């Protein structure tokens, strides 16, 4: 990071105060906690509900709590065309492990920018409201933790000067590239907007036609299914729901806890909320290979309980990097990819990208993912399992715009190609 930018961010860390205290969910003020669900008394923001999952894609069915937030939020970045700089803000979130990160110009739910909380207005909101649909890229959020949640990802080019508010700063593309390689520095929502605005290759020589990829997806949609049924939280099998938290019986998965927040640089100074607490460091990894001088990404077809349709994901995903070899949801192929390529320190030089980043800290508490992109040698041959396919750079961009790529794959693709941000 440039020295001037580092000093500015260091100042923000000192002046942006946030205190987060974990509390029993029964003590969350202004929220209703009952046997069915957890929701804000305004009936806005979000809810915690229970779902039963039936599927033939995974080895077994399961129950889980999940976040229901019907509102489509705004994730927007302003770009100044005159100097090619992007407007970001230093924003504190209760769930961020390092508390403060570089966030988009606007990062707000509808309840937030509608001021349901009775607090301050969201700065620069006027640039992102009531836009032509051509500006909007509605993208899905975490499909195992959110239930049918989408946000509008927007990049707006401006020419006129704007008054710079406290806590906001213009950042160049080279600075963004350096920031993307720093642990927990770029907010997940910033990366989401970036990944939705990567430039096409001038020449792109795909292995498959896009129509063939879509047909490949369609054929799997005919084979696999995943259905969800909303149920009371007290009816969730294998989960303990009491006044303190919602915790899985084997304690290997995430939990739902309460937090009490005090801060000086948000729309309101203090509030309470439920939040999803992660268990261990996760991993998402892409195998990348050049075919005919074009980077191709090895994508996996996947169904998720929080998404209505199938999506393409990274080559490998695991919620527990430390114990991935014991992860029953990982196939033999996925475990070999992680051990032989993704985490093989003898092949470090082949890593296109390797960094740890937080999930969005407004809903997730200390949830982190290690993102790794690994470039295979030309001579390396891999026999692909049934649900895997190579997708070229330009095809990834097209499929992202068509909402056919999940958030983990989008973020990793965007991080690898951040130097190609529009």
The mean pLDDT value for 404-411 works out to 98
Reported as a pLDDT band with limits 50, 70 and 90, residue 137 is confident
Instruction: Please state, in angstroms and as integers, the Cα–Cα distance from residue 290 to each residue in 199, 221, 293, 355, 405, following that order.
Output: 18, 28, 5, 22, 20
Percent of the chain topping pLDDT 70: 97
The mean pLDDT value for 339-368 works out to 96
Residue 130 predicted with pLDDT over 80: no
Architecture of domain 210-226+280-420: Alpha-Beta Complex (3.90)
Question: Rounded to an integer, what distance in angstroms lies between the CA atom of residue 48 and that of residue 4?
Answer: 42
Per the CB < 8 A criterion, the answer to whether 218 and 309 are in contact is: no
Question: Rounded to an integer, what distance in angstroms lies between the CA atom of residue 65 and that of residue 67?
Answer: 7
Question: Rounded to an integer, what distance in angstroms lies between the CA atom of residue 194 and that of residue 415?
Answer: 8
Residue 132 predicted with pLDDT over 70: no
Nearby residues of 235 by Cβ (< 8 Å), 6 or more positions away? 50, 63
For residue range 279-305, list pLDDT tens digits in order. Answer: 899 999 999 999 999 999 999 999 999
Mean pLDDT rounded to a whole number for the chain: 94
Measure CA of the first residue to CA of the last residue in the chain; give whole Å.
20
The mean pLDDT value for 205-227 works out to 98
The mean pLDDT value for 161-180 works out to 94
Residue 228 predicted with pLDDT over 90: yes
Across 342-352, b (16+ Cβ under 10 Å) vs e yields: bbeeeeeebbe
The pLDDT of residue 161 is: 84
Instruction: Please state, in angstroms and as integers, the Cα–Cα distance from residue 334 to each residue in 252, 282, 337, 354, 382, following that order.
Output: 20, 14, 5, 18, 12
Per the CB < 8 A criterion, the answer to whether 268 and 118 are in contact is: yes
236-62-358 Cα angle (round to 5):
90
Reported as a pLDDT band with limits 50, 70 and 90, residue 134 is low
Residue 224 predicted with pLDDT over 90: yes
Residue 338 predicted with pLDDT over 70: yes
The pLDDT of residue 252 is: 83
Per the CB < 8 A criterion, the answer to whether 257 and 343 are in contact is: no
Structure tokens given for 186: 């770029």
The pLDDT of residue 120 is: 78
Question: Rounded to an integer, what distance in angstroms lies between the CA atom of residue 64 and that of residue 4?
Answer: 46
For residue range 107-123, list pLDDT tens digits in order. Answer: 988 777 776 666 678 99
β-bridge pairing 62-68 and 146-147 = parallel
The mean pLDDT value for 63-78 works out to 95
The pLDDT of residue 22 is: 97
Chain-centre distance of CA 242, in angstroms? 29
Per the CB < 8 A criterion, the answer to whether 105 and 77 are in contact is: yes
For residue range 55-67, list pLDDT tens digits in order. Answer: 999 999 999 999 9
Domain parsing of the chain, residue ranges: 210-226+280-420
The mean pLDDT value for 392-405 works out to 97
The mean pLDDT value for 184-204 works out to 96
For residue range 1-52, list pLDDT tens digits in order. Answer: 678 898 999 999 999 989 999 999 999 999 999 999 999 999 999 999 999 9
Per the CB < 8 A criterion, the answer to whether 264 and 355 are in contact is: no
The pLDDT of residue 2 is: 75
Chain-centre distance of CA 110, in angstroms? 18
């Amino acid at each position: 990071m440039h020295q001037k930018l580092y000093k500015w961010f260091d100042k923000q860390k000192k002046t942006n105060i946030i205190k987060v205290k974990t509390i029993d969910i029964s003590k969350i003020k202004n929220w209703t906690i009952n046997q069915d669900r957890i929701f804000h008394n305004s009936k806005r923001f979000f809810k915690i509900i229970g779902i039963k999952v039936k599927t033939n894609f995974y080895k077994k069915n399961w129950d889980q709590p999940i976040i229901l937030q019907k509102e489509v939020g705004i994730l927007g970045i302003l770009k100044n065309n005159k100097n090619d700089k992007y407007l970001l803000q230093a924003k504190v979130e209760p769930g961020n492990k390092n508390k403060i990160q570089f966030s988009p110009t606007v990062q707000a739910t509808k309840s937030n920018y509608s001021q349901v909380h009775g607090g301050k207005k969201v700065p620069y909101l006027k640039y992102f409201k009531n836009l032509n649909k051509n500006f909007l890229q509605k993208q899905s959020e975490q499909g195992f933790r959110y239930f049918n949640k989408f946000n509008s990802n927007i990049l707006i080019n401006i020419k006129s000067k704007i008054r710079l508010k406290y806590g906001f700063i213009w950042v160049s593309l080279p600075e963004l590239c350096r920031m993307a390689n720093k642990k927990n520095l770029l907010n997940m929502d910033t990366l989401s907007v970036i990944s939705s605005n990567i430039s096409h290759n001038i020449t792109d020589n795909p292995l498959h036609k896009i129509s063939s990829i879509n047909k490949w997806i369609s054929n799997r949609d005919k084979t696999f299914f995943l259905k969800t049924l909303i149920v009371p939280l007290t009816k969730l099998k294998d989960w303990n729901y009491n006044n303190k938290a919602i915790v899985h019986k084997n304690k290997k998965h995430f939990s739902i806890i309460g937090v009490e927040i005090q801060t000086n640089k948000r729309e309101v100074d203090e509030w309470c909320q439920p939040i999803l607490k992660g268990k261990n460091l996760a991993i998402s990894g892409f195998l990348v290979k050049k075919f005919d001088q074009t980077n191709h990404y090895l994508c996996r077809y996947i169904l998720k309980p929080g998404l209505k349709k199938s999506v393409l994901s990274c080559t490998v995903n695991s919620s527990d990097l430390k114990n991935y070899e014991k992860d029953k949801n990982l196939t033999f192929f996925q475990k070999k990819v992680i051990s032989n390529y993704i985490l093989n320190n003898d092949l470090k030089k082949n890593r296109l990208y390797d960094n740890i980043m937080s999930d969005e800290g407004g809903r997730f508490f200390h949830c982190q993912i290690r993102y790794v992109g690994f470039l295979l040698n030309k001579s390396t041959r891999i026999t692909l399992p049934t649900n895997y396919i190579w997708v070229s750079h330009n095809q990834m961009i097209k499929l992202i715009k068509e909402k056919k790529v999940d958030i983990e794959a989008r973020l990793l693709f965007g991080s690898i190609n951040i130097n190609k941000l529009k």
